[in-house]
Amino acid sequence: MTSPIGKDLLALEPLTGDQIRLILDTAEPFKEISERAIKKVPTLRGKTIVNLFFESSTRTRISFEFAEKRLSADTVNVAASGSSVQKGETLVDTARNLEAMRIDMVVIRHGSSGAAKFLADRIESNVINAGDGTHEHPTQGLLDLLTLRDHLGDLAGRKVCICGDVLHSRVARSNLWGLKKLGVEVGVCGPRSLLPNAIESLGVTVFDHIEEAIEWADALNILRLQLERMHAGYIPSLREYNRIFGVTSARLEKAPRDLLILHPGPMNRGVEIDSDVADGPHSLILNQVTNGVAVRMAVLYLLAGGNAQLAEAAKGQGER
């Protein structure tokens, strides 16, 4: 059965605006399931899903696991440490062995850009990219869009600025494609050393000063400095970065409108974002985490062949 979003979810770049809206619309009825006393519907009963996490994760791994369990799928978690990957087994051999045990879907996080597509081209199971190197993190992009839509309504014509280490960020890439497909004006702000070359050619506005981004935007999506991916001196020091690009309450007070604050996590408090902003009244950071479960339920459900109308019906199932 072909799903309306294809066999796999590897990136937002190849999706149409309608496909992205379908995922967000499908997530809406799934939000309520997580608010029930008994957070479970039988929608994916009988499906087996493997979560292959070759890089560390808190939010994404646990969120996928909750999404799978709340849809009654059977799940298995595999990490690189403790698996035969440590003995030199290849990614494809690991996945093919899992398929020999009759699985239906693989959720993969991997340090190499393209790893999810590499796998999807070689196995029959549906593959969901949970973050591949510096390429994309599509479900993070989708949960960010859902959170923005909850607060701004139709996103067309709105202005969102992605701030910080865009160069190393898969979240930035998924946001950029997703936002543009929904008609959002996208800005980026950060030191030039942390912005990809020729990023203007993607149709984004570049801000060299965080104060200008704050004046322009309806929402800021603030990224952490990915120090683990930096192999050169991209910034003089963390203190200097905070002084020039840090989102602080003193800077936000000068915004001409109520600015929504997003951050994909994990946060480096006192570097890209100050604690009083992260925990302040305009912060949607925990709303993003809550929406992550609903978005991932929607993606799993659509890839398994469901549609938006049936999602509404699925909501009616289960005990309350």
> 119 with 127: CB under 8 angstroms?
yes
d(CA 118, CA 92) in angstroms, rounded, equals 8
d(CA 69, CA 98): 19
Interacting span for ligand CP (CB under 6 A) from 57-65, 83-91, 225-233, 240-248: 57-65
Distances (CA, A) of 287 to 41, 79, 130, 199, 260: 22, 27, 19, 29, 11
Least distance in angstroms from the C-beta of 131 to ligand CP: 6
Binding of residue 134 to ligand CP (CB under 6 A)? no
* Residue 56 Cβ vs ligand CP, minimum distance, rounded to whole Å: 7
Closer CB to ligand CP, 63 or 242, in the complex: 63
> Does the protein bind ligand CP through residue 178 (CB under 6 A)?
no
Angle separating helix axes 285-303 and 17-33, nearest 10 degrees? 110
The minimum distance between CB 66 and ligand CP, in angstroms, equals 13
Site stretch for ligand CP (CB under 6 A), options 72-80, 196-204, 220-228, 260-268: 260-268
The yes or no reply on residue 140 touching ligand CP (CB under 6 A) is: yes
> Under the criterion CB under 6 A, does residue 58 sit at the interface with ligand CP?
yes
Sort strands 126-132 and 219-222 into parallel, antiparallel or unpaired. unpaired
Instruction: Give dist(CA 121, CA 21) in Å, integer.
Output: 26
- Of 293 and 311, the one with the shorter C-beta distance to ligand CP is 293
Interface residue with ligand CP among 3, 43, 51, 60 (CB under 6 A) is: 60
Which residue, 61 or 158, is less far from ligand CP as judged by CB?
Answer: 61
Q: Which residue has the tokens 């950029």?
A: 176
Residue 50 amino acid letter: V
In the complex with ligand CP, which residue's Cβ is closer, 137 or 149? 137
Q: CA-to-CA distance for 62 and 20, rounded, in angstroms?
A: 23
* Shortest distance (Å) from residue 264 CB to ligand CP: 4
